[in-house]
Amino acid sequence: MNRELAERLQTVLDRIRAAERRFGRPPGSVRLLAVSKTRPADTIAALAAAGQRCFGENYLQEASVKMAELAALDLEWHFIGPIQANKTRLIAEAFSWVHSVDRPKIAERLSAQRPERLPPLNICLQVNIGREPSKHGLEEAETLAVARAVSALPRLRLRGLMAIPAPSSAFAAQREPFARLRALQERLIAAGLALDTLSMGMTDDLEAAIAEGSTLTRIGTALFGPRA
Ligand SMILES: *Cc1c(COP(=O)(O)O)cnc(C)c1O
């Protein structure tokens, strides 16, 4: 199990490095977030032993149990799932990053609840780019105004944008929504926001995301196998 996990991790890192080279991205400019939803704590510990440090979770209750079990390890936790307003305190207290902020109210609560002893919480705004199956995410047209508001909150650090495009198997079709998210990010930067993160790319579209400027790929299946 541990050997297989280490091999899968190397395969994913090789895919990322190959895509960086192929699309002219600087070596090491794309980070790997291991999406560990539904995976038990000992599996996460095994991947950590193989060298992976950043893990992404979608479900707060499940994540809290595993994070407590793994507290002795120096891991960086990212929350990437839908956020209910009454769950923001636990997220603000336990995570380093949140990728799925899609309304100002959630950002305000996270900022107010982020403990003073911790560094500011890193934030990506989730954008509903193109025709996504889920209803989550900001509309493109409202993203600049929300980004300005979020960047003014004292206990948050706005880092960039995140999207989960509808699945597509053709490479050109996969690139299109990622290109739109990148263009939106560039408009925000031109408007004066200091952003450095594009959270995009999953197991089936990570090369297309890297081609379009992803800096943080969120990978589950390629690391851990299919989810039950
Ligand atoms: C589950 C999930 C992933 C990982 O997807 P895979 O296809 O298993 O790599 C990435 N991002 C989010 C937001 C997810 O919910």
35 touches ligand 1 (CB under 6 Å): yes
Distance CA 91, CA 49 (A): 25
Q: Please state, in angstroms and as integers, the Cα–Cα distance from residue 40 to each residue in 27, 47, 200, 224, following that order.
A: 32, 11, 24, 11
Identify the pLDDT of residue 132. Answer: 61
pLDDT tops 90 at residue 228: no
Identify the pLDDT of residue 90. Answer: 97
pLDDT tops 80 at residue 216: yes
Q: What is the pLDDT of residues 30-52, one digit of tens each?
A: 999 999 999 999 999 999 999 99
Residue nearest atom 13 in ligand 1 by C-alpha distance:
80
Greatest distance between any 2 Cα atoms in the chain: 48
CA-wise closest residue to 17 among 157, 156, 210: 210
Distance 118 CA to ligand 1 centre (A): 27
Who's near 92: CB < 8 A, 6+ residues apart?
109, 110, 111, 113, 114, 115, 121, 155
220 touches ligand 1 (CB under 6 Å): yes
Domains and CATH numbers, the chain: 2-224 (3.20.20.10)
Who's near 55: CB < 8 A, 6+ residues apart?
33, 34, 35, 36, 44, 47, 48, 75, 76, 77, 78
Determine the 3-state secondary structure of 69 from DSSP.
Answer: helix
Question: What band does 219 get if pLDDT is binned at 50, 70 and 90?
Answer: very high
Identify the pLDDT of residue 64. Answer: 98
CA-wise closest residue to 147 among 189, 204, 210, 205: 189
Q: What is the pLDDT of residues 108-128, one digit of tens each?
A: 999 999 999 999 999 999 999
Q: What is the pLDDT of residues 196-213, one digit of tens each?
A: 999 999 999 999 999 999
DSSP secondary structure of 71-112: TTS--EEEE-S---GGGHHHHHHH-SEEEEE-SHHHHHHHHH
pLDDT-above-90 percentage for the chain: 95
202 touches ligand 1 (CB under 6 Å): yes
Identify the pLDDT of residue 130. Answer: 74
DSSP bridge partners of 54: 76
11 touches ligand 1 (CB under 6 Å): no
CB atoms within 10 A of CB 10: 12
Q: What is the pLDDT of residues 172-187, one digit of tens each?
A: 999 999 999 999 999 9
The two tokens of residue 135 are 């209803």
Question: What band does 170 get if pLDDT is binned at 50, 70 and 90?
Answer: very high
pTM of the model: 0.97
